[in-house]
Structure 1
Amino acid sequence: MAITFSNEAPFNFITSLFFCVLVFGSCRVWCASVPGIYIFGDSLVDVGNNNYLTLSLAKADFPHNGVDFPTGKATGRFSNGKNAVDFLADKVGLPSPPPYLSLVSHAKKLSSTNVTLTGVNFASGGAGIFNGTDELFKQSIPLTKQVSYYSLVHDQLVQDLGSVGAQAHLSKSLFTIVIGSNDLFGYFNKDSKVSKQYTPQQYVDLMVSTLKGLMKRMYEMGARKFVISGVGVIGCCPAQRKQNTTSDCKVEANYWSTKYNEGLKALLKELKSESSDIHYSYFDTYDVMNGLIQHPETYGITEIKEACCGLGNLKADIPCIPISTYCSNRKNHLFWDLYHPTESTSHIFAGFIWSGSQQYSTPMNVEQLVKV
């Protein structure tokens, strides 16, 4: 739903309350606290942007993706159903933000009639912190470009709400970033060029410093509340396991995932010390995912190695495409395809993101963040 206000109209509690009643029929507790969610990232949180990229090889707008989505159809999500940000949006009482490219595909540019006040999803399958990750998938929207797209949304909000109203809206909104896996996959790819230019430590340091610059740009454009996800146990996805004859995890990829996450946590502390009005929740994806792998029975999971949808070794030789087969019970699988979690796994992640202890969400979880 799109909505506009005059430049003079202050976006205050009453305006927010009215908007929530208009959208939902009744106002939930979080209406005034979280007016919008802005999503940046890769295929883990893409809700259909890549549908609009004609050259992209990273697409999910075909069966069997979406088999458990409410419509029963593929949406562009790399999942059998919803992904983690869909569940997060549910938690805060907002609709899942639409893909940015869906807002401009026909209109060609943003305007008061197509900007959505409840948030926008800029995430793109194959995207990375660096621009080069799109070489693996021919076409994606790297984080740099996602932030540039956000700048256009920001400018439209300022035009519609006025600078004071836009800042009030954005300062209470959540800015969710889920990215970094593709950068690491790219480094450890056997044909990697960057591995010849940088040591692994130099590379993850550059990932962190590049992300910091982009987050500072977001801060300059109103972002104050960040939900940041660390990189998961990427060496244990089916695509990585199948490279070992034993189907064991790729130790090197996992090790550098942890090193990147350490740098990411240090970066967030730096940003907070530089700008005290920044608040954030860091989600330790690695720790939670490792827990699922080590104790799957706790979560009703029985298959942690093989993908649900695909073909070949660990169903990871061929991705989830129409000729692939898929498992009858998606809830007992950790992975939907060769890289991505099932809907039920994403639901578990969202639960930890929302109300997890400090072991998994630091220095606070998102339930606490929305109250700040």
Structure 2
Amino acid sequence: MGEGSVNVRAAVTTMASRLFLLMSLIISFLFSPSNLLGFTVTEARVVPAMYVFGDSLVDVGNNNYLQFSLAKANFPHNGLDFPTKQPTGRFCNGKNAADLLAEKMGLPTIPPYLSMASKLNKSYNLFLNGVNFASGAAKIFKEDQQYPQSISLGEQVDYYLSVKEGLGQQIGTFKAQKHLSKSLFTIIIGSNDIYTYFDSSTSNRSTPQQYVDSMVLTLKQQVKRLYDYGARKFVIVGIALIGCTPSERNERSDQECKADVNQLSAKYNKVLISMLKKLKSELKGINYSYFDGYSVMHNFIQNPTAYGFAEVKAACCGLGKLNADAPCLPFATYCSNRSNHLFWDRTHPTEAAHRIFVDYILSGPLQYTFPINVKKLVSI
């Protein structure tokens, strides 16, 4: 056989090998577990995973699985602008802050824990992108109820501990620890505790300062539990200007913000910031980014047009005064332009507002995100 024939055969063999390799990669991608689950594999992934704890601001459907809970959003008109155009359990017209931050991190949509709990003993690979434990109406404090409306922060951390232990068994303790140390742990909670102070006899048993001190102490205990089980990078969001929600305004004849609610929220945020600074010196290797949602929401209300809002008092979806006499129920009316409303319903922001919040969380200046923003946090 001549030298030319050998070169041709070698070239054909090389080309065939390359084609086989390419086809193998394509098949591997198309039928990988992550793709079969509807996840999008991306080279833009910034962190291995994101674990979310909180209330209805970041619930992505956990409460759908609580049989007796009334704190659900799995009905129209919720989800009106979600990609599927269907209600998912998110208290929003579209995506919420948890979804949007995950996108910024190059992650697929983080699923609700209770949708996957039955798979705990089968495949922990399903949890490698992260899990969302948030629950509508959740509080920092646990309530003793026979039929709980939500999953308290402590119970959410309990669920995380079972996931962490499973990951260690699945991929090994060392790999699991490395995975978790690089992941984001996002906590958005506290608003419902503030409302409870004014809605019950709690205010008769403790002063405002005592109450927020207790809130922060309880939160600290849960953060330390997460730290003990691998968490190192935290995104902590302060309580916003919740006395200015349509629901709170609706209770006043002049439709102005409730000053006492805002004052207690600000008092809590101040104690929280102080606690986080001390925690940084107490726990080796912990890093965090605190987002001042209170000030940013204040800016929205004071100068709405600068942020693209035309309406910052009334809800988009609801009934009655300020669309706040009723929640966003299937028979409620809703606005045609959700992007120019700050509030979707009586208490929750629109997707448009969530997007601006997340932009600040990711790359906001030191004035609103400190001691560093999330972009810097993930680079550590």
Q: When the two structures are superposed, what TM-score results if normalisation uses the length of structure 2? A: 0.88
In structure 2, the CA distance between the partners of 1:333 and 1:223, relative to structure 1 (3 Å rule), is same
**Match status 1:209 vs 2:210:** no
Give me the whole-angstrom Cα distance separating, in 1, the residues matched to 2:45 and 2:68: 43
Where do 1:1-372 residues align within 5 Å? 24-28=40-44, 30=46, 34-104=47-117, 106-107=118-119, 109-112=120-123, 115-132=126-143, 138-189=148-199, 192-372=200-380
Give me the whole-angstrom Cα distance separating, in 2, the residues matched to 1:181 and 1:49: 18
CA deviation after TM superposition for structure 1 residue 96, in Å = 2.1
In structure 2, the CA distance between the partners of 1:204 and 1:331, relative to structure 1 (3 Å rule), is same
Give deviations 1:160-192, integer Å, cap 9, x for gaps: 111111100000000000000000011111xx0
CA deviation after TM superposition for structure 1 residue 197, in Å = 1.4
SS at match of 1:59: coil
Give me the whole-angstrom Cα distance separating, in 1, the residues matched to 2:145 and 2:75: 21
CA deviation after TM superposition for structure 1 residue 115, in Å = 3.8
Give me the whole-angstrom Cα distance separating, in 2, the residues matched to 1:29 and 1:117: 13
CA deviation after TM superposition for structure 1 residue 270, in Å = 1.2
Which structure 2 segments of 5+ residues have no match?
1-31
Q: When the two structures are superposed, what TM-score results if normalisation uses the length of structure 1? A: 0.90
SS at match of 1:131: coil
Give me the whole-angstrom Cα distance separating, in 2, the residues matched to 1:185 and 1:116: 33
Which structure 1 segments of 5+ residues have no match?
1-17
CA deviation after TM superposition for structure 1 residue 139, in Å = 1.2
Give me the whole-angstrom Cα distance separating, in 1, the residues matched to 2:201 and 2:69: 21
CA contact (8 A) 1:65 1:79 kept: yes
AA aligned opposite 1:290: H
Give deviations 1:128-166, integer Å, cap 9, x for gaps: 00012979x951000010000000001001111111111
SS at match of 1:132: coil
Give me the whole-angstrom Cα distance separating, in 1, the residues matched to 2:303 and 2:57: 22
Give deviations 1:319-354, integer Å, cap 9, x for gaps: 001011100010111000000000000001010001
SS at match of 1:281: strand
Cα RMSD (Å): 1.9
CA deviation after TM superposition for structure 1 residue 20, in Å = 9.4
In structure 2, the CA distance between the partners of 1:21 and 1:310, relative to structure 1 (3 Å rule), is closer
Give me the whole-angstrom Cα distance separating, in 2, the residues matched to 1:290 and 1:110: 46
Identity of aligned residues (%): 56
Give me the whole-angstrom Cα distance separating, in 2, the residues matched to 1:265 and 1:19: 41
Give deviations 1:51-99, integer Å, cap 9, x for gaps: 0011111100000000000000000000000001111011010012100
Q: Partner residue of 1:7? A: none
CA deviation after TM superposition for structure 1 residue 194, in Å = 1.6
CA contact (8 A) 2:124 2:163 kept: no
AA aligned opposite 2:127: T
Give me the whole-angstrom Cα distance separating, in 2, the residues matched to 1:243 and 1:342: 21
Give me the whole-angstrom Cα distance separating, in 2, the residues matched to 1:273 and 1:82: 36
In structure 2, the CA distance between the partners of 1:110 and 1:285, relative to structure 1 (3 Å rule), is farther
SS at match of 1:227: strand
Give me the whole-angstrom Cα distance separating, in 1, the residues matched to 2:125 and 2:249: 43
SS at match of 1:282: strand
What is the count of residue pairs matched by the alignment? 347
